Structure 1
């Protein structure tokens, strides 16, 4: 005790602001030598719990670890190929090492056993468990470990790689503790959330944080999901585990983290409960998710694109290309069409269009309201079923960026448009075939991009093919110049170009030189 009758710890607390006692913040009173210091407990703000213990105690029995044995491709053979490659062309050695390479290929195992782990949670009393697709992918054995240590063999019910969701069922009959899906739309940015799971194989771990953001799009790999972003720490092994609101409802299924190290940096992503419930119900019923398919490449109708087309206050998805023989082609959709709504439900961009089409039942006729050349039309399109092996098209950019000096003599074929800083050549048959275009498709190949020109500033490179300008086919350079002249006469500042880059058709604008 000091001569004032106060402990040294209390004096330090008075100097430095506050001490922590239990879960309440304690601020020392001003004190006198006679009375000493009396702490005052300050309660947390409304809505902030003193503890998450009651919530966790309630839901934790339904949260499980998911242990998986799977088969994976062996990659060592590719390394051996690189090793043997160095001996090619060496007299007396090439044949010997070629024989060794072939022997290695025959003897090397193509697959190996791998072990992985994740998290999951019971959604029914009879033992249905939700987890991530990437947790159980290629699984040959699945084991569910409960919070009380019980180990239960499980079997796969169904998976949906496009939303990274899966359902498994424990084989042992029983009455299991389970949790229910809630609504992610009822929580706001800044509300508390609690994540449970099996990080790094530790099992039974709870973390708390807030909803940092919602509606996160994570690129082409997740076209059907607007993720919840949470800062409750989640790590490797948390995949497939639940995120709860303070009522104990599942508002998200943990799926991804953003991290340079693989550990939590406070940015995790969960699949919203509404989507998770819809997909898991379908998996339980059918074992798979069937999605509608149009067969188009689409992009957002950005304000920049709309300005180039002379459109105002129009939202939708711009059709960049139509797959030959697809439902879209049979239904009459064409490049440069703008999809405004599907069955009366308005679309705002390519993502909302993709998700609406995905919800359509295969082989049913549906109404698409479109804008074509500035005029509204309605098409009745019978959608197909999305192929299971549909893969992202190649996005190679052709010949790369060969910038040239505009004043240097050039042997490169094509006509130079000096005001745009680009040299254009009508597309030949070999280029058309290499790009996977139809026999009748026309366009202009960029053969040179002038340094500091309009096309270079817009990011164009050699090898890109211009298919259309403001919706007009451009089989010749003259046709391109006429499309520019029309845009100029309409007082537009940009031209919208439909481009073929590798196997992908997309759009980009260029400024019209004054």
Structure 2
């Protein structure tokens, strides 16, 4: 799922313009209630809403940009959907006659967006979503009583989709702040309340439960959303999700909807993920994330069996190691499975980027790996992830599910030749056995192995000829292996691991 405008089919929508999304969950306080009472929910949230509403704000962000317009060619009314397209078409050609013009008048175009936010410090610190403010050059924070305060940006982070603003409170209108709660204590079924600015209405309260935790909606490298069925609509983005103690345990960010309106599936950034980012934005004006310097992919059951990984599929399989990264110096290798990082279990590959990114730069940590069936611990001193670097821990191409595995390799193989290097544009540094054909009905085809790719290892041993491949496959069959792990390189040398079933 990728963030997208609302359409006739279910999409993930973010609040932009008059759009927004509200979210997430909370815990029921007090003594145990009968099942029938729990089904009805809290008797009233009026006291809680009154307690926190003054700390919830509306965000109005305006972006004014200059654009050139040609005197020749059709003149389109402002706001026409195809205005940019027509402007580009005629400006490139200098008008319909194609003769060009030496001067083009400049016009200004203004776009507006409405969203939500909340005050975390009475001195004037406001939190919202990054996508709510975008590249706005005029931002106003509108308090519950209608007071408008001009805001400046302290810092913003697109990866977690957060922004921190500062306003100057007045003596006549002191600000009220709300505290963060611990989102790690949330459980599916806990009650939560969202307050925000849906469709520009402002101060709207909705309630629901936590539907799930740890949702990956594929919007970024650190997805770990709370899912809630509290009504979230366009304009709620950046608003708070409260628990029943009046603490912010989530920041409403996105919804899944066929129309752009709430259908009971909303997502919020957990406070546990948001707070460290907010703290860094306040202190540094930017986020300083830890960097390990590896590419990873998921471990499915077939891969786990082929690797001799006890306990089944878990961890993050290292598919590449940056030559200049901390992992290289610490001795991590392609084929290692990272199962723990700094004491935290790595249950799936998606866990690792979040854990690494939240670890301080320069900290020395223990990384537990499984290499050829044996556990080892490596000490790594983390570097800093730079925004212009290749995304850290970016997933390699994912293996297909285990149920796609059949019992044949289905590959035609050839030793590396100059002709094959030219035909498939294979770099000189890539060594191994070339795949020249893939049986379309084979497991290899299901796992997306393609002609021109190169088999580098079979069962964690290097191969340089088709004979070595078949010999290694036969040996693993005799050992009783049910699957075999191939290390496959593309023409540029980027590798991934593919597990195929053995007959």
Q: What is the Cα deviation at residue 250 of structure 1?
A: 1.3
- Which residue is 2:183 aligned to? 184
Distance 1:485 1:52 in 2: 67
1:366-398 Cα shifts (integer Å, max 9, x gaps): 33232222333333333221111235599999x
Query: SS where residue 282 of structure 1 aligns?
Result: helix
Change (3 A) 1:466 1:77: farther
1:41-74 Cα shifts (integer Å, max 9, x gaps): xx97158333222222221111111011236798
CA contact (8 A) 1:242 1:252 kept: yes
Distance 1:435 1:372 in 2: 32
Aligned partner of 1:423 among 400, 404, 412: 412
- Which residue is 2:126 aligned to? 129
Distance 1:434 1:165 in 2: 47
For structure 1, the residue ranges without an aligned partner over 5 or more in a row are 1-42, 85-94, 398-417
Query: SS where residue 304 of structure 1 aligns?
Result: helix
> Deviating runs (4+, > 4 A) in structure 1?
71-84, 95-112, 391-397, 426-439, 501-504
- Which residue is 2:52 aligned to? 59
- Which residue is 2:199 aligned to? 200
- Mean CA deviation greater in 153-162 or 309-318: 309-318
CA contact (8 A) 1:73 1:111 kept: yes
- Which residue is 1:355 aligned to? 354
- Which residue is 1:118 aligned to? 115
Aligned partner of 1:442 among 431, 449, 467: 431
Bigger relative contact order, structure 1 or 2 (CA pairs below 8 A, ≥6 apart) = 2
Alignment of 1:57-456 (within 5 A): 57-70=50-63, 79=85, 103=100, 112-174=109-171, 175-219=174-218, 221-313=219-311, 315-391=314-390, 420-426=409-415, 439-456=428-445
Distance 2:396 2:325 in 1: 24
- Mean CA deviation greater in 104-113 or 127-136: 104-113
Distance 2:341 2:58 in 1: 41
CA contact (8 A) 2:249 2:271 kept: yes
Q: Does 1:468 align with 2:430?
A: no
Distance 2:483 2:122 in 1: 61
- Which residue is 2:478 aligned to? 489
- Which residue is 1:45 aligned to? 37
Q: What is the Cα deviation at residue 164 of structure 1?
A: 1.0
Q: What is the Cα deviation at residue 502 of structure 1?
A: 7.5
Change (3 A) 1:70 1:470: farther
- The CA RMSD over aligned residues, in Å, is 3.8
Q: What is the Cα deviation at residue 270 of structure 1?
A: 0.7
CA contact (8 A) 1:229 1:268 kept: yes
Query: SS where residue 481 of structure 1 aligns?
Result: helix
- Mean CA deviation greater in 178-187 or 236-245: 178-187
Query: SS where residue 41 of structure 2 aligns?
Result: coil
Distance 1:187 1:78 in 2: 46
- Which residue is 1:7 aligned to? none
The two structures have a TM-score, normalised by structure 2, of 0.77
Distance 1:382 1:374 in 2: 25
CA contact (8 A) 2:94 2:101 kept: no
* Count of aligned positions: 441
Q: What is the Cα deviation at residue 494 of structure 1?
A: 1.2
Bigger radius of gyration among the two: 1
Distance 2:352 2:54 in 1: 40
Q: What is the Cα deviation at residue 97 of structure 1?
A: 8.4
CA contact (8 A) 1:236 1:263 kept: yes
The two structures have a TM-score, normalised by structure 1, of 0.75
Change (3 A) 1:259 1:475: farther
Distance 1:147 1:137 in 2: 23
Distance 1:354 1:310 in 2: 24
- Mean CA deviation greater in 462-471 or 304-313: 462-471
Query: SS where residue 257 of structure 2 aligns?
Result: coil
CA contact (8 A) 1:395 1:502 kept: no
CA contact (8 A) 1:435 1:500 kept: no
Query: SS where residue 159 of structure 1 aligns?
Result: strand
Q: What is the Cα deviation at residue 268 of structure 1?
A: 0.2
1:416-441 Cα shifts (integer Å, max 9, x gaps): xx963322344567988999997533
Change (3 A) 1:470 1:81: farther
Change (3 A) 1:272 1:396: closer
Change (3 A) 1:55 1:378: closer
- Mean CA deviation greater in 62-71 or 468-477: 468-477
- Mean CA deviation greater in 456-465 or 301-310: 456-465
For structure 2, the residue ranges without an aligned partner over 5 or more in a row are 1-34, 68-80, 398-406
CA contact (8 A) 2:276 2:358 kept: no
Q: What is the Cα deviation at residue 123 of structure 1?
A: 0.8
Query: SS where residue 305 of structure 2 aligns?
Result: helix
